[in-house]
Amino acid sequence: MAGQIFGPAAMALESLDPSQVAFINALPKAELHAHLNGSIPISELQQMAHEYSRTSDKGPSDVVQNGITKIQNGVVLDEIYDFFDLFPAIYAVTSNPASLRRATRAVLAQFLDGDNPQCSYLELRSTPRETVQMSKFDYVQTVLDEVERYPKSRAALIVSLDRRMSVDVARECVQIASRLKAEGRRVVGVDLCGDPKAGDMSLFAECFSQAKQAGLGVTLHVAETLDNSAEETLQLLSYSPDRLGHATFLNDEAKSLVRENKSCIEICLSSNLFCKTVTKLEDHHIRYYLQHDHPIAVCTDDTLPFRNSLVGEYALLLASQPLGLGLSEAEVRCIAEMGMAARFGV
């Protein structure tokens, strides 16, 4: 169900022979790091933007249309911080329960529907967003209603905390996640995401401890850029996260902590290449984790701007160098199994 893909993942996939593609398709795969508003299929988003322009009385709709055209034409980022400028246009068209429901349904279908679904299991993540038409609680419930249309073995929700949030708002998001989980709803974890330079992460300690007490898994975007200090990384690791997003720039102390705790690293190859936090595949930190037999999960991050797919990310593992990492089918199978083993839900 994934749309057309472009860039390194597409080139790697094109280089595979049909039996290798069939091998990837048949592998049970878990997508554990996908941001809802970063994963809306472009065709759906365009239709939503069109309808938004027809019906909106708020502000110039060309801001939205320009933003979406930019994404459609293929985003070129000078640095990771440019990435966050893409979201205001997307958020404008997913700002009420009906449009959020529609976007969520399309994202779930993209990953889970069809004869050859991208993955067997999806842990979708999203940041509760309050708008004029919905509260944060409405937001999470709306997304959950869609997630729960699939069986428990196929889909679950992670509630994201944005680094730009005040502690009060972050606390409120954890309370929403905990309450819904206690009511038997399918919230399985919390995440920390957003602009890697923003916020004071020492203030978030209580949020992750409360999430853990509520039985939620904790995953943190950590050391995503060179601007993330070693102190901040150690602080985030002290919250005992179950999984880590990216973990690109860890110093030796952080690496040994991560290996000791066996925290699964969510690896997003195309995302790191597009955001230029990794220059080329052969320098990617995935190699370090593979060499040390450390648990990883290969994921897409944001299929909308990066125009990738989970099958494409697996193609990057299997394709011969320099298009891919040149791993064997046995090694790729083992990576898929590690992803399945790191699920918060099920």
- Collapsing DSSP to helix, strand or coil, 112 comes out as helix
Q: How far is the CB of 83 from ligand IMP (least distance, A)?
A: 7
Instruction: Please answer whether residues 317 and 336 qualify as being in contact, where contact means their C-beta atoms are separated by less than 8 angstroms.
Output: no
Question: Least separation, in Å, of the C-beta of 162 and ligand IMP?
Answer: 5
Nearer to ligand IMP by Cβ, of 119 and 222: the residue is: 222
Active site residue 224: yes
Residue least distant from Zn ion (Cβ): 301
Complex with Zn ion: residue 44 or 301, whichever CB lies closer: 301
d(CA 95, CA 211): 26
Using CB distances below 5 to 8 A depending on partner kind, what does residue 127 bind out of ligand IMP, Zn ion, none?
A: ligand IMP
Residue 27 to residues 101, 146, 178, 331, Cα–Cα distance (Å) = 29, 25, 33, 12
Of ligand IMP, Zn ion, none, which one does residue 162 interact with (CB within 5 to 8 Å by kind)?
ligand IMP
Residue 210: CB minimum distance to ligand IMP, A: 20
Task: Please state at what angle helix 42-55 crosses helix 61-73, rounded to 10 degrees.
Answer: 170
Pick 123 or 301: Cβ nearer Zn ion: 301
175: left (phi over 0), alpha (psi -120 to 50) or beta: alpha
- 294 contacts which partner out of ligand IMP, Zn ion, none, CB within 5 to 8 A by kind? none
Whichever of 146 and 301 has its CB closer to Zn ion, that residue is 301
Helices of type H across the chain: 7-15, 18-26, 42-55, 61-73, 80-83, 87-93, 97-112, 136-147, 167-182, 205-213, 230-237, 252-261, 269-274, 286-291, 303-306, 310-318, 329-341
Q: Is 59 left (phi over 0), alpha (psi -120 to 50) or beta?
A: left
The rounded distance, in Å, linking the Cα atoms of 232 and 247 is 12
Q: Which does 38 bind (CB under 5 to 8 A by kind): Zn ion, ligand IMP, none?
A: ligand IMP
Query: Shortest approach of ligand IMP to residue 302 CB, angstroms?
Result: 5
Question: Dihedral through CA 184, CA 185, CA 187, CA 188, nearest 10?
Answer: 40
Query: Is position 191 an interface residue for Zn ion (rule: CB under 5 A)?
Result: no
Q: Which CB atom, from 172 or from 224, has the smaller least distance to ligand IMP?
A: 224
Determine contact, residues 176/137, Cβ cutoff 8 Å: yes
Q: Is the dihedral of CA 327, 330, 331, 333 positive or negative?
A: positive
Segment near Zn ion (CB under 5 A); pick from 95-103, 200-208, 275-283, 299-307: 299-307
- Least Å from the CB of residue 320 to ligand IMP: 28
Give the interface size with Zn ion as a residue count (CB under 5 A): 1
Give least dist CB 328 to Zn ion, A.
28
| Residues in contact with ligand IMP by the rule CB under 6 A | 35-38, 87, 126-127, 160, 162, 193-194, 221, 224, 271, 301-302
How many Cβ atoms from other residues are within 10 Å of residue 14's Cβ?
Answer: 13
Candidates 146, 224, 266, 313; catalytic one: 224
Q: According to CB under 5 A, which one of 31, 162, 172, 301 is a site residue for Zn ion? A: 301
CB 302 within 8 A of CB 39: yes
Nearer to ligand IMP, 23 or 137 (CB): 137
Task: Give residues in contact with Zn ion (CB under 5 A).
Answer: 301
Residues with catalytic roles: 224
